[in-house]
Structure 1
Amino acid sequence: MPKTMKKGETAVLTSEEKKILQALQGDIPVTSRPFTALGKEMNLSDDDVVRIIRQLQDRGILRKFGAILRHRQVGFTQNAMVVWAVPERLIESAGERLASLPEVSHCYERTPPFEGKYNLFTMVHLKTADIPSSIRRMAEAANLDDYQILTSDREYKKSSMTYFPAEIPEKDGGE
């Protein structure tokens, strides 16, 4: 299990680790082997890139790695966040069922629950305008009946956090 860094704890990073973290905070190549392409830029093999990423995770420096889908650009014109009130004993099975549905891109448990009871969140992307009917079918599939549909009319800019500038200055030996 990866360690969690404590508040105020500072990690010492190698130059390779810094380069990889710098590359991961932006867009990675859209290819079947993105770590091969990243490795070539850094004179590393894809195995080295993956090994270093895993080490960063194990040390608690890199917590998660994800992709941002520009859903409107691929034809998903409707989206909604659906919040579900799920009994604690059913949260895992309901979450697995909802997460397995093709229209669900995100599914996670929230603690504390939203409004004191909505503890499971799903992000739904659809190509049709009939969000309520689609979500009713989802509710039936997961055997859930207490939910709220939260929709938005506008997509806001999605961007990654930037922790390292384009050029990372090396520490002076005298510090």
Structure 2
Amino acid sequence: MDDVDLQLLKLAQDGFELTERPYRALGERLGISEEEVMARLENLQQEGVVRRIAATIGHRALGIVANAMIVWKVPAERVQEAGETFAAAEEVTHCYERAAAPDWPYNLYTMVHSRSREECLRIADLLSQASGIKEYHVLFSEKEYKKTSARI
């Protein structure tokens, strides 16, 4: 990755202009051609630096107002299996393993989003049934203070 790639990533992470030729607009800002922008982004994607290029949807405007983190107490020997089960579920947007703490035994975390709390609870129940993991809590978001992706 060179300096041009880094500058391209910095511009792209803020989103593209809604123009007929967004790659050309990026290229103009960087002093490179539209074709070079596309080639660089494709290369960065092949290297795993860029996962995908997609629209960011304002889920609240679509009525998806319930957000829940489900914390799971999973035996160490079942974490991989349960994590893969949860990650395969379409409703799960994030799935992470974290170390448990003395007063907090939960070691697997999933996030789900839905139109209602009831639907989030139903999803948690389905995930519990699919994984066989019965010890969990559903923690609903009360207020969003910040939500961004990692930045460079």
| Fold conserved between structures, TM > 0.5 | yes
The reply on whether 1:37 has 2:25 as its aligned counterpart is no
1:117 is paired with a residue of what secondary structure?
coil
Match of 2:134 in 1: 145
Does the CA contact (< 8 Å) of 2:41 and 2:50 recur in 1?
no
Name the TM-score, length of structure 2 as normaliser. Answer: 0.71
- One-letter identity of the residue aligned with 2:7: K
Structure 1 unaligned regions, length at least 5? 1-12, 164-175
**How high is the TM-score relative to the length of structure 1?**
0.63
Q: Which runs of structure 2 are paired with 1:66-145 in the superposition (5 Å)?
A: 69-110=57-98, 112-114=99-101, 115-130=103-118, 131-145=120-134
Structure with the bigger percentage of helix: 2
Secondary structure of residue in 2 paired with 1:113:
coil
Q: Where in structure 2 are there 5+ consecutive unaligned residues?
A: 28-32
Are the aligned partners of 2:17 and 2:25 in contact in 1 as well (CA < 8 Å)?
Answer: no
Identical counterparts, % of pairs: 29
CA distance in 2, matches of 1:113, 1:63: 31
**2:26 is matched by which residue type in structure 1?**
E
Deviation at 1:21, TM superposition (A): 2.4
Aligned partner (choices 43, 46, 49) of residue 51 of structure 1: 43
Match of 1:155 among 139, 144, 148: 144
User: Considering only aligned residues, what root-mean-square deviation do their CA atoms show, in Å?
Assistant: 3.2
